[in-house]
Amino acid sequence: MLSVSGLTVRYGSVTAVSDVDLSIGDGEVLALLGPSGCGKSTLLRAVAGLEPAEGTVCWDGADLADVPVHRRGFGLVFQDGQLFPHRDVAGNVAFGLRMQGRKSPERVAELLTLVGLAGYESRRVTSLSGGEQQRVALARALAPRPRLLLLDEPLSALDRSMREQLAMDLATLLRAAGTTAMVVTHDHDEAFTLADRVAVMNAGRVNQTGDPAEVWRRPVDEETARFLGCTTFLPGRVANGVLTCEFGAIPLAAPDGAVHVGLRPTALRPAPAGVAGKVTGRVHRHDHVRLVVDAGRAVDAVAEVTNAPSVGDEVTLTLDETGVAIIGP
């Protein structure tokens, strides 16, 4: 198990990572999620031993301060694969095995099957698509059986459809291989697809760690909620398992009392009855239409692609519980 405590990385006057505590249990996949520039890569590099840091990085209780990168037993996968262009696929995957003094065509074949590239041994890596190259990078990192796999935005360089497919494949194969992993990403969908647990980072600090569904429904503060897609904030009240706010009421299992509510655009939808407003903005997204509605104040809403209202239309909005978050520790 990995345990990180008080980890701090400074670059001159910039504190890129600030007093981070984090642990990853055996076989667990932790997603480190946060906006660009918040310190995710720096934290990953410090764990790998690539970046000098204050604080401690331990594996099974043993401090790794004096253990160099290549002796930590950690595997690394970066955004752009960083494959060896002059070696074929098998040569890339076998690299880590050769470093261990092992030569195992069977292990290479096994890994290529795991990542969905069976039979690709003699292909040139330069002839592969971006997604295939990332699969090779993953196979190469997994081949020496690392005790921890560190992935830094492994899917960010791929186009959307490829990214979604590979995220699902990656989730399946990390579980199949029982891999302990830390995946760095700025993309919520990716984090929630891959992770057993999510750590949300901002400005060098980890603000919240928890079960993905819990973090999604219960962001710890407004900053975290904004990063997780909330755009409207308002007071609400819970009584007898029902949350009531100015846009309506939904069931919510929470103690009675006042709450701070965050709404994602998906929390508000045009319906036959509800809070009245006028559409002031409209953008077609891939599978829905995103609206801005003046309902006393500007709020975001979503509509189905078919029959979506136009700018200038009067609408009534109702609350959809899937987009509602309750903010607070």
Residues near Mg ion (CB under 5 A):
41
- Cα gap 189→229, rounded to integer Å: 11
Which residue lies nearer to ligand ADP by CB, 11 or 84?
Answer: 11
- Cα gap 181→26, rounded to integer Å: 9
With binding defined as CB under 6 A, does residue 16 bind ligand ADP? yes
- Cα gap 329→304, rounded to integer Å: 34
- Cα gap 232→322, rounded to integer Å: 14
What are the φ and ψ backbone dihedral angles of 58, each rounded to 5 degrees? -120, 145
Q: Classify each residue of 125-157 as buried b or exposed e, where b means 16 or more C-beta atoms within 10 Å of its C-beta.
A: beebebbbbbbbbbbbbbbbebbbbbbbbbbbb
Counting residues that bind ligand ADP (by CB under 6 A) gives 11
Instruction: Write down the least CB distance from residue 229 to ligand ADP, Å.
Output: 18
Strands 197-202 and 29-33: parallel
Tokens of 175: 């579980």
- Cα gap 293→314, rounded to integer Å: 9
Q: Which listed residue (5, 6, 26, 37) binds ligand ADP by CB under 6 A? A: 37
With binding defined as CB under 6 A, does residue 185 bind ligand ADP? no
Instruction: Write down the least CB distance from residue 5 to ligand ADP, Å.
Output: 19
Distance in Å from the first CA to the final CA of the chain: 26
CA 8 to chain centre: 22
- The partner in contact with residue 262, picked from ligand ADP, Mg ion, none with C-beta cut-offs of 5 to 8 angstroms by kind, is none
Strands 54-59 and 289-294: unpaired
Instruction: Write down the least CB distance from residue 163 to ligand ADP, Å.
Output: 17
- The partner in contact with residue 42, picked from ligand ADP, Mg ion, none with C-beta cut-offs of 5 to 8 angstroms by kind, is ligand ADP
- Cα gap 291→170, rounded to integer Å: 34
Q: Which listed residue (31, 39, 135, 264) binds ligand ADP by CB under 6 A? A: 39
With binding defined as CB under 6 A, does residue 38 bind ligand ADP? yes
Which residue lies nearer to Mg ion by CB, 46 or 259?
Answer: 46
Instruction: Write down the least CB distance from residue 52 to ligand ADP, Å.
Output: 11
Which residue lies nearer to Mg ion by CB, 41 or 193?
Answer: 41
In this chain, which stretch among 33-41, 135-143, 223-231, 311-319 interacts with ligand ADP, using CB under 6 A? 33-41
Q: Where in 40-79 is the site for ligand ADP (CB under 6 A)? A: 40-42
Residues forming contacts to ligand ADP in the complex (CB under 6 A) are 11, 14, 16, 34, 36-42
